[in-house]
Copies of this chain bind each other. A is one copy, B any other.
Amino acid sequence: MEHPRLVVVGSIGLDTIETPSERQADVLGGSVSYACAAASFFTRPGMVGVVGTDFPRRAVALFRRMGVDTRGLQVADGRTFRWSGVYEENMDNRRTLRTDLNVFADFMPELPAAYRRAPFLFLANIAPALQMHVLEQVESPRFVMADTMDLWIRTTPDDLRRVVANVDLLTVNESEARHWTGKHGLLQAARELLRLGPQYVLVKKGEHGSMLVTRQSVFLLPAYPVEDVRDPTGAGDTFAGGFIGRLAAGGRVSEAALRGALVYGGVVASFGVEAFGLDRLSRLTEKEIAARVAQFRRMCRAG
């Protein structure tokens, strides 16, 4: 079996999701699931994560069918990570009802030997100490992207700074960027975060798009306007996964390549939210992606 060009580490879980119009239980989710599904349209991502003995076989089969390398998927005694949340006020606000870490509480990410020379690495949102542990296992990666969340910014800021100093791209959402830096202006916040070491800061703004900031430049990408958002869960991970999957497939790391790959990430994420969990991504075709990318580019063309 070949060595993956991209490795993704993070959470795998079963989510119970309530939107203003529907509710679904035990939906396949977690950052690794979304990111690997999104990346699978462009490369064969190597997944690193843990599930319990209750994890449905058909979920593993789905990952494999989508072209995800599951050699890094650990099965531990106990139950799979579970999260439940509710979207309120027209999906603009998400409230967590319950988080049961289960086997995820003792997760220690170990990379299969075949993964250790992957040139592209996505450290999705897990404890910074675990992100660091993964970083130590890869041999001279070409491009490392890290995501994080408010919890780690608050509770383990030193660990987080160590991670950020060792990655090429840090991705945060709008509120995290503000909370972390104390700057309300997103550009100022992103510039503060660049001072921690990464070459790129990607600020995710949900339905308002994203902003890629370097020391010399800014790239503004709107979001593709989705007509009917059924489940926004995992949209940020899908965006990030589609982006780095496309980047890994191309192999070149330059600002132009990053910009182009972000367009693909945005498009894959726009499909993802059209259904719950991986339902839409698992039916998505390369042809649909190409058509929407062309349409999206036309939407962004400034006269």
Which of A's residues lie within 8 Å of B, judged by CB?
A: 90-91, 184-188, 205, 208-209, 211, 217-222, 225-229, 256-263, 297-303
Contact = CB atoms under 8 A, between A and B. Distances in A.
Contact of A259 (B91, B226, B303): B303
Contacts of A219: 299-302
- Nearest 4 CB-CB pairings of A with B: A260-B303, A259-B303, A220-B222, A208-B208
Contacts of A211: 225
A186 B223 CA distance: 12
A298 B222 contact: no
A177 to B, nearest CB: 12
Nearest to A257: B303
Given A184-B90, A205-B208, A208-B205, A259 B225 contact: no
Contacts of A263: 302-303
A260 B228 CA distance: 29
7 contacts: A90-B184, A185-B229, A186-B225, A209-B209, A209-B222, A221-B222, A300-B302
A222 to B, nearest CB: 4
A302 B260 contact: yes
A225 B229 contact: no
Contacts of A261: 303
A227 B185 CA distance: 6
Contacts of A297: 302
Given A91-B184, A219-B299, A220-B222, 14 more contacts: A90-B184, A185-B227, A186-B225, A205-B208, A209-B209, A209-B222, A211-B225, A217-B298, A221-B222, A221-B302, A256-B303, A260-B303, A263-B303, A297-B302
A91 B300 CA distance: 27
Contacts of A185: 225-229
A303 B300 CA distance: 12
A208 B222 CA distance: 9
Contacts of A187: 225, 227
